[in-house]
Amino acid sequence: LCGADELAVVSLPSYACQRHTPLLHHNTVLIDALSILAENAELSENEGRGVAFRRAGALLKSLPQEIRRVEQLRGQPCLGDHSLRVIKEVLEDGVCCEVETTKESRQFKAMKALTGIFGVGAKTADRWFREGIHTPSDLQRSGHNLNRAQRAGVQYYDDLNQPVRKAEADAIGLIVEKAVSEVLPGAKITLIGGFRRGKETGHDVDFLITHPEEGREEGLMAKVVSWLEAQGFLLYHKTTRNSYLESKDGPARPPSNMDRFERCFSIFRLTREESSMLSQCSGSRSWMAVRVDMVVSPYSQFAFALLGWTGSKLFERELRRWAVHERAMTLSSHTLYDSTKRQYLRANSEEEIFALLGLEYIPPCGRNA
């Protein structure tokens, strides 16, 4: 009783960084279902559960064909009982009860709406939800004191919840490039994040800035921000010195050079002239607000910064997990530390980092885990 499609799928390696995960895949309905449960777990601050659903979804994204029967997945890694139950139900009934209930739940809807405000995380959103605040309008009526980021988040809520498109990302790229070349000739900018992985849209635009002469990048962010502000491009900005705060379960703190890594969270004002594609501007408005993240890295760390900021978030997590568990190494956006040799390993390209980790090189378009 072996259906034609039964044996067709070879078992994939279990770390996402050992596989190609393309942007377009064959199991969208299943992945969407698992993503809802992942999102709900993340909003409930159940990180472990969220990661389990994300890993299961990423495995499905790597499969070369559409799954029609759950038996086809036998022998595949990353699929826990819960994920398999969801997959089976969607394949058999078209929908999964738990997913539908989650999507319709007041809490999930409210948490999504509230964390959709720039500057609002799951903890804050949960506290507000318990006070009966379910929407940004409820929040405005409540008279809560909001911090500067959250005020900007409420003010530009609609724009910031529209996906940013590649054309807009490119338009902003030209502006940032101009800013960078005005304040430090020779500095270079690279589009990172989802757009580097080939995505057509994103929730923000991410840039990495560096200068080929080590040390020249110091103080660069402040100058770039001043230039952008003077030109009227910034609706909001906040620069943080220690950009790469490792989570508790992540690698040990990188060496002291991490405090030279600067990051600026900003909201750009993109006008119609800059982006001829602003059809999503509502009504007669001639500009839109767009979230932009800029990171500055010293040249010697550029390859690590590039790898660390290209994502996806799950791919990054998997790289670090691979490094620790399979190679006794600690990977960050700054460096790679070999615990056995007790030394930092240098690299000038992403290809070199993959090689040091004993991994086949996966190009950005294959990192959409």
312 binds, among ligand DCP, Mg ion, none (CB under 5 to 8 A by kind): ligand DCP
Tell me how far apart the alpha carbons of residues 250 and 146 are, in angstroms, rounded to a whole number.
30
Q: For residue 226, what are the contacts with CB-CB under 8 A and spacing of at least 6?
A: 183
Alpha carbon 203 to chain centroid, angstroms? 9
**First CA to last CA distance, the chain:** 33
Residue placing its CB nearer to ligand DCP in the complex, 298 or 311: 311
**How many residues line the site for ligand DCP (CB under 6 A)?**
12
Work out how close the CB of 192 gets to ligand DCP at its nearest, in angstroms, rounded to a whole number.
6
Decide the pairing of beta strands 262-271 and 188-192: unpaired
Q: Which of 202, 298, 308, 364 binds Mg ion (CB under 5 A)?
A: 202
> In this structure, what DSSP letter does residue 253 have?
P
Q: Residue 113 or residue 294: which is nearer to Mg ion going by CB?
A: 294
Q: Closer CB to ligand DCP, residue 128 or residue 244?
A: 244
Answer yes or no whether residue 193 interacts with Mg ion by CB under 5 A.
Answer: yes
Residue 368 in contact with ligand DCP, rule: CB under 6 A = no
Nearest to 116 by CA among 104, 128, 100, 105: 128
Q: Among ligand DCP, Mg ion, none, what does residue 309 contact (CB within 5–8 Å per kind)?
A: ligand DCP
- Shortest distance (Å) from residue 243 CB to ligand DCP: 9
Where in the sequence numbering do the catalytic residues fall? 204, 206, 293
Residue 339 — φ and ψ, nearest 5°?
-70, -25
Nearest distance from C-beta of residue 311 to ligand DCP, angstroms? 2
At residue 61, φ and ψ (nearest 5 deg) are: -65, -25
Q: Is 134 helix (H, G, I), strand (E, B) or coil?
A: coil
**How far is Cα of residue 165 from the mean position of the Cα atoms in its chain?**
15
Minimum distance of ligand DCP from residue 204's CB (angstroms):
5
Interaction residues for ligand DCP, span 172-201 (CB under 6 A): 193-194, 199
β-sheet bridge partners, residue 334:
none
> What is the number of other CB atoms lying within 10 angstroms of the CB of residue 222?
14
Of 19 and 291, which has the nearer Cβ to ligand DCP?
A: 291
Provide the residue type at 295 as one letter.
Answer: V
3-state SS class at 340: coil
Q: Which of residues 299-328 bind ligand DCP (CB under 6 A)?
A: 309, 311-313, 316
Cα separation, 168 vs 157, in Å, equals 18
Taking CB under 5 A as the criterion, the residue among 39, 204, 217, 262 binding Mg ion is 204
Site string for Mg ion, 147-186 (x = CB under 5 A): ----------------------------------------
Which residues bind to Mg ion, rule: CB under 5 A?
193-194, 202, 204, 206
Which residues bind to ligand DCP, rule: CB under 6 A?
193-194, 199, 202-204, 206, 309, 311-313, 316
